[in-house]
Amino acid sequence: MTDGFFAMGGYAAYVWPAFGVTAVVLAALLLTSRRRLKASEALLRDLESARPRRREVNP
Amino acid sequence: MTGAFLAIVGRDLRLAFRRGGDTGSVVAFFVITVTLFPFGVGPEPNLIARIAPGVLWVAALLAATLSLDRLFRADHEDGSLDLLALSPLPLEVLVLAKTLAHWLATGVPLLVATPLLALLLNLPLQGWGVLLAALALGTPSLSLLGAIGAALTLGVRRGGVLVALLVLPLAVPVLIFGVAAVDAALMGLPATTPLMALGGLLLAALVLAPWAAAAGVRLSLES
Amino acid sequence: MSWWHRLASPTRFMSYSAWVLPIAGWLAAGCIGVGLALGLFASPADYQQGETVRIMYVHVPAAWMALFCYSAMAASSAGYLIWKQPLAELATRATAPVGACFTAIALVSGSLWGQPMWGTWWVWDARLTSALVLFFLYLGYMALAEAFDDPTRGGKAASILALVGFVNVPIVKFSVDWWNTLHQPASVVKLDGPAIDPAMLVPLLLMAAGFTFYAVAVVILRLRAMVLERKIQALQRQLAEAR
């Protein structure tokens, strides 16, 4: 049964790469977009915590 | 307005011919690109004649793209574009005048060089008239599309390659109908449908391209 | 202020997108999960195309998304050029890579479908060719938007290009259709007739909905990142001036 399912009626070499490429592309896009958001969130947090300290030093 | 329009066309043409390089290098590029194809596909006359319309059109498209970078850039860099934009002439008309001058300085020389290349590629004589008509209708569209690309990339440091990337996909319809017209003539069929489609594309480009290119030029003047 | 002005204010966007994002994300995961399960297990194989028809469940929705994303980019470009909404320009920029990825998926899966059905990896079929041109349009947009040192200028120039490309897409489609009938008269299997089995239609629509929610989620992710990046630039400028 699973053998037949994964064989895709002899077309496994076409069906699975199609799904695989879709999964890889969509996952990569999602992860890079997420990483970009996390990076900018972290940088913004650093900057905002840096700002008040500067004001204390130089009023 | 007509006077100002013609004055700009004349100015650009004089500049192009005095500098001289533009027209010469575009035609030379066209000729050399076309003569490379027989080396690529082999000297078999029938095969070369079969692919001749496509080769001539693709080479003309590439040659027209090659010179686009200078359409607005030189005037933008020496500041004369700012002065021209101050004139009462609408920017759209200014863009149209500069595009017309560009076509006269590069598109028309391509047309002149085409019969020689058609000869080299063994293009049957019955296709020549339609080939020239198709190029005459199609190359102005290429200049107009190119004006959009040239205007939008003003201020980009390496604009030349970018213009090609922006303009070539837009030129696909012109290429399709241009080659189809010549193919139809070679098969002894009437070429009116593709030629009319080329004319329609030219009209659409005449209406829309100056507007988009003027928007791009305006953008470069703001900063 | 009209409703879109309020929706387009960056501060408001940051607050409402924070709760739209997880909803879109979970809806995408749910629709794609159920759609895959139905498409891979419950739907029948096609009597002509056999099991390869399952490629349709990623190929067709991806092709729809390719067009949908470009239309959305044209709409937000118009919104930017007409109403001067900075968020609309960022939205166009955020959508472009998503659309390009879907176009790439449609091209690759179409090629993988074509090999067993037509016997070649690529035919210059009208749909594949127009999708390829659309892919080039996406690349051109992204290259132009990133080419300027000043992001505002890049945004404006690229918005104009997106509109020009949008006008050009139907012209390309029409000319490629015409060219195609000229060269190879109707040899290609029609894939989306109206007579599609409901057992196939349900997973197809679920996948399409899932891809749409995925696109919404990723566009929100990228937009949030871009809004924060602009904020960071402003802060850094402020810090540099204070120094």
Q: Which residue of C has its CA nearest to B223?
A: C153
- Would C98 be classed as within a structural domain? yes
Note the pLDDT of residue C3. 58
pLDDT in tens, A4-59: 677 777 777 888 888 999 999 999 999 999 999 999 999 988 888 876 554 554 44
- Would C219 be classed as within a structural domain? yes
ipTM of the complex: 0.87
Mutate to test the interface with B, among C138, C149, C153, C169 (most CBs of B within 10 A): C153
- Would C144 be classed as within a structural domain? yes
Domain chopping of chain B, boundaries: 2-222
Give me the mean pLDDT over the C89-102 stretch: 94
Mean pLDDT of chain C: 85
Cα C105 from Cα C62, distance rounded (Å): 6
Which of B110, B97, B121, B126 has the alpha carbon at shortest distance from B23? B110
A24 touches chain C (CB under 8 A): no
- Would C50 be classed as within a structural domain? yes
| Chain B residues inside the 8 Å CB shell of C81 | 215
Cα C39 from Cα C54, distance rounded (Å): 7
* A18 contacts C112? CB cut-off 8 A: yes
CA B116, B117, B120, B123 dihedral sign is negative
Overall number of domains in chain C: 1
Q: Percent of chain B beyond pLDDT 70?
A: 99
Name the residue among A10, A14, A36 with its Cβ closest to that of C225. Answer: A36
Note the pLDDT of residue C61. 92
- Greater pLDDT, B128 or B18: B128
Token pair, residue C8, equals 């387009």
| Chain A residues inside the 8 Å CB shell of C108 | 18, 21
Note the pLDDT of residue C126. 77
| Chain A residues inside the 8 Å CB shell of C41 | 5
- Greater pLDDT, B147 or B23: B147
Residue B170 in contact with residue B209, Cβ under 8 Å? no
Residue B172 in contact with residue B186, Cβ under 8 Å? no
What SS3 string covers chain B?
Answer: CHHHHHHHHHHHHHHHHHHCHHHHHHHHHHHHHHHHHHHHHCCCHHHHHHHHHHHHHHHHHHHHHHCCCHHHHHHHHCCHHHHHHHCCCCHHHHHHHHHHHHHHHHHHHHHHHHHHHHHHCCCCHHHHHHHHHHHHHHHHHHHHHHHHHHHHCCCCCCHHHHHHHHHHHHCHHHHHHHHHHHHHHHCCCCCHHHHHHHHHHHHHHHHHHHHHHHHHHHHHHHC
Q: Which residue of A has its CA nearest to C232?
A: A44
pLDDT in tens, B24-80: 888 999 999 999 999 998 888 888 988 999 999 999 999 988 888 888 888 888 888
Q: Minimal Cα–Cα distance from B50 to chain C, Å?
A: 14
What count of residues does chain B have?
A: 223
pLDDT in tens, C6-56: 666 788 888 888 889 999 999 999 999 999 888 888 777 776 677 778 888
CA distances from A8 to A12, C161, C202, C230, C240 (A): 5, 43, 20, 49, 61
Token pair, residue A25, equals 């592309």
Q: B–C contact (≥3 CB pairs within 8 Å)? A: yes
* B219 contacts C160? CB cut-off 8 A: yes
pLDDT in tens, B141-186: 999 999 999 999 988 877 778 898 999 999 999 999 999 999 888 8
Range of the domain at C130: 20-242
Give B217's Cβ-side CA count (13 Å radius).
32
Q: CB neighbours (10 Å) of residue C41? A: 9
Name the residue among A15, A34, A40 with its Cβ closest to that of C51. Answer: A15
Name the residue among C140, C165, C175 with its Cβ closest to that of B165. Answer: C140
Counts of helices then strands in chain C (DSSP H, E): 7, 0
Mean pLDDT of chain B: 89
- When mean pLDDT is compared across B12-26, B48-62, C67-81, C84-98, the lowest value belongs to B12-26
Cα C148 from Cα C155, distance rounded (Å): 9
Name the residue among C148, C158, C175 with its Cβ closest to that of B172. Answer: C175
Give ∠ CA A5-A8-A11 in degrees, rounded to 5: 160
| Chain C residues inside the 8 Å CB shell of B201 | 171
Q: Which residue of C has its CA nearest to A9?
A: C51
Q: A–B contact (≥3 CB pairs within 8 Å)? A: no
Note the pLDDT of residue C185. 43
A35 touches chain C (CB under 8 A): no
| Chain A residues inside the 8 Å CB shell of C112 | 14-15, 17-18, 21
Residue B148 in contact with residue B65, Cβ under 8 Å? no
- Would C13 be classed as within a structural domain? no
Note the pLDDT of residue C166. 93
Cα B144 from Cα B207, distance rounded (Å): 10
pLDDT in tens, C147-194: 888 888 888 999 999 999 999 888 888 888 888 776 654 444 445 554
